[in-house]
Structure 1
Amino acid sequence: MTVDVEDYFHVSAFEKNISRDRWDTLPCRVEQNTDRILQLFADHGICGTFFMLGWVAERYPNLLRRIVNAGHELASHGFSHIRVTQQDMDSFREDVSRTRKLLEDLSGTAVLGYRAASYSIGRENLWAHRVLAETGYRYSSSIYPIHHDLYGMPEAPRFAFHPPELPIFLEIPVSTVAIGRHKFPCGGGGYFRLFPYGLFRWALRRVNYLDGQPCIFYFHPWEIDPDQPRQRGVGMKTRFRHYLNLQRMEQRLLRLLSDFHWDRVDRIFLNQNLANNEK
């Protein structure tokens, strides 16, 4: 179970409408929404992994500490939600190093995981895996192996894999379900709000029982916040994707938390990988 800790104005789809120099002027709702998620997880006895923006951590250090004190894994989402496709190797290295140091200094815990903004690691920038390994990360969950107009690497493996020449580093793709030769998304986000819950539950169970693999699910704090400020001047596609079924998200999430067993990424994947390496 993973949460990308960012606010409604951080999303890549709004970057043409909301410039970064306006972020500090907008009403911030990420703290109250993340606290709500922490309560939902506590009510269900669930620990997860929180991929946090450095921008959020700087402004809400006590939120970061509440996440860690509740037993969740803290991981990096980069500093200010810049897609890797918009960075060169040097700027990416500076971004992931700066964010990891900030999160570790504020939390007093090791940060091992990273998720790129908008799943922006793909066939054109796989060098990012080596940079992450060199800067102390143990895993990434930054590839979505599907076709999408904004991201995706459909030829990537569906399940956790070691990038070439990086035997102690894992890429853990967001979950997809295979039907015939085709892969369909079942890892959360807008798809979880779009498709009927029963279809999502079937897909996740198929991955668990037919493939024998754990699932990676993600969502954002703003997705449980139907009262967030509405943005003007955004395109119809963006408006549909961002605001669809926000009012139903929390109830769907509650069903998901009850229907499956969830845990932190590091405990499921890194412990399993360590055991496999010792065999």
Structure 2
Amino acid sequence: MDAAEVSPRGELTNALTIDVEDYFQVSALAPHFPRERWDSVPCRVERNVDLILGLLAEREARATFFTLGWVAERYPQLVRRICAAGHELASHGYAHERASAQTPQAFLADIALAKSVLEDIGGVAVTGYRAPSFSIGLGNPWAHDVIAEAGYRYSSSVYPVKHDHYGIPDAPRFPYRLSSGLVEIPVSTMRWLGRNWPAGGGGYFRLLPYAVSRWQIARVNRDDRRPAIFYFHPWEVDPAQPRVSEASTKTRFRHYINLERTEHRLRRLLGDFRWGRADEVFRDAA
């Protein structure tokens, strides 16, 4: 078992992670928000991250913020507030480009730039990286070597599930070290009926009743005796965000389902489990 912090009651500390991007930077909405137009789109990320920081402060919880370099450059004070509150500053790349859509050279340039921008603004070392849309899969195994080359110590870019846009169903469910020395920390899954089921948040946290997420995380802690790693996005606590009516029905369903319930569910999640930074929860692995 990873040497994760255990409470006096025997509870494991799980890793809470936030992918800091705005609603118009989501991969599924990319056709409607070309990157060259991003600066003309009203941002809501600062308001949403501040709300999350408030929720974490209420529970004295810590988290990892996988932050876009593009966001950090435009909201440097937000990055500094994240660091000042004791959270981990990590990288989500610079421009939210899927790793699988880039050449190794372009990918290196993007993640190296993001690391430099974040470290300059935050004044802290940035050791963790998460690929947009979990876009490291069987088709681009070179990506992990590039992440190590860019100077990161760990990645959380693999989801060991079957999904139409990402996932490596047969990948290890728990942290593993690659030949480069980089540690991959997969998003949590629950093993049930012979397959891996998503247990690490995201859209599933909004789609399914809260009790499902609570049961899954508790099962990972109890049966696997491992800390879970959970993720969500700032735009998921923002039901007032602009709606893109031109998006496909499938995209609109996935993006907007139960946004109005996410904040309440997060409050319950923060109360039902202990949460910490990924770099501390998985300190021995990374």
Partner of 2:46: 31
Q: 2:31 aligns with which of 16, 23, 26?
A: 16
Q: Which residue of 2 aligns with 1:141?
A: 156
Q: Tell me how far apart the structure 2 counterparts of residues 253 and 108 of structure 1 sit (CA, whole Å).
A: 29
Match of 2:200 among 168, 187, 211: 187
Aligned residues: 271
Letter in 1 for 2:252: R
Cα shift readout 1:183-203 (whole Å, capped 9, x = no counterpart)? 110101100001111111111
The CA distance in 2 between the partners of 1:221 and 1:135, in whole Å, is 26
1:232 to partner: Cα distance: 2.2
CA RMSD between the two structures: 0.8
Q: Deviations over 1:198-242 (max 9, x none)?
A: 111111111001001110100000000000011121000000000
Aligned partner (choices 50, 57, 67) of residue 52 of structure 1? 67
Q: Structure with the greater relative contact order (CA < 8 A, sep ≥ 6): 1 or 2?
A: 2
Aligned to 2:284: 272
What corresponds to 1:69 in structure 2? 84
1:224 matched residue in structure 2: 237
Provide the C-alpha distance between the structure 1 equivalents of 2:193 and 2:255, rounded to a whole number of angstroms: 30
- Report the AA paired with residue 104 of structure 1: E
Give the Å deviation of 1:134: 1.6
The Cα shift of 1:18 comes to 1.4
What displacement does 1:268 show?
Answer: 1.1
Identity %: 56
Q: SS at 2:177's partner residue?
A: coil
- Structure 2 equivalent of residue 214 of structure 1: 227
> How do residues 92-131 of structure 1 correspond to structure 2 at under 5 angstroms?
92-131=107-146
Distance (Å, rounded) in 2 between the aligned partners of 1:20 and 1:96 = 17
Matched-pair contact (CA < 8 Å) for 2:175–2:285: no
TM-score w.r.t. the length of structure 1 is: 0.96
**Structure 2 match to 1:83:** 98
Equivalent residues in 2 for 1:147-166 (5 A)? 147-163=162-178, 165-166=179-180
- Tell me the SS of whatever aligns to 2:226: coil
8 Å CA contact retained: 2:238, 2:259:
yes
How far 1:53 sits from its partner (Å)? Answer: 0.3
User: How far apart, CA to CA, are the structure 1 residues paired with 2:188 and 2:55?
Assistant: 22
Q: Give the distance between the partners of 1:5 and 1:273, measured in 2 at CA.
A: 24
Which runs of no fewer than 5 residues in structure 2 stay unpaired? 1-15
Residue type of the alignment partner of 1:89: P
SS at match of 1:75: strand
Report Cα offsets for 1:154-195 as digits up to 9, x if no partner. Answer: 1111111112x23x3210011110003111101011000011
1:3 and 1:100 map into 2 onto residues whose CA distance is 17
Q: CA deviation at 1:40?
A: 0.4
1:272 is displaced (CA, Å) by: 2.0
* Secondary structure of the corresponding residue to residue 262 of structure 1: strand
Displaced runs of 4 or more, over 6 A: none
TM-score (norm 2): 0.93
What 5-or-longer segments of structure 1 have no aligned partner? 275-279
Q: Measure how far apart 1:129 and its partner are.
A: 1.0
